[in-house]
Amino acid sequence: MTVSNTQRLELNFDRLFEIALQDWPEEIDLEIIEYPDQSEKRYTVKGLGLLAERIEERYIDTSTEVIARNLHDAIYSAVHGVARFCTCIRLLEIRKEIVKKDFESRLFDALDNQALGWLEEDIEIVRNYFKIQGNLNE
């Protein structure tokens, strides 16, 4: 999703998703799962969190930070959820509509959360995204 400040950010979800997947490896090993307690409800996948952090770090202090980091976090959540049932996943097999729903939920919930410290430009990008998707009334 590398977009320089001089390029126009394309706010079509399908295109954003396609570009975001380029930041991830084609296939992710989910073999090693660790359970911090006996309940097995919470778990971590060895290396997955670090991978996601490294991908998201690239966007800190960029004009695409809010969109990119929330989209990558939604991708991470989808991959993490799959880890409970699979030992490996090809990123092209992730259900785009599930990632979109999570991504949009994160953005919508954050619009009114001033504690996040979003700049006015960030808020405007998110509002424009929802307008383009047809999900935000003016």
* Domain assignment of residue 8, yes or no: no
pLDDT at residue 40, rounded to an integer: 66
* Domain assignment of residue 31, yes or no: yes
* Domain assignment of residue 5, yes or no: no
* Domain assignment of residue 6, yes or no: no
Range of the domain at 99: 13-133
With a CB cutoff of 8 Å and minimum separation 6, the contacts of 21 are: 75, 91, 92
Q: Give per-residue pLDDT as tens, 99-122.
A: 999 999 999 988 888 888 888 999
* Domain assignment of residue 90, yes or no: yes
User: pTM for the whole thing?
Assistant: 0.87
* Domain assignment of residue 3, yes or no: no
* Domain assignment of residue 85, yes or no: yes
Average pLDDT over residues 56-82: 94
Give the number of domains in the chain: 1
* Domain assignment of residue 79, yes or no: yes
Percentage, residues of the chain above pLDDT 70? 91
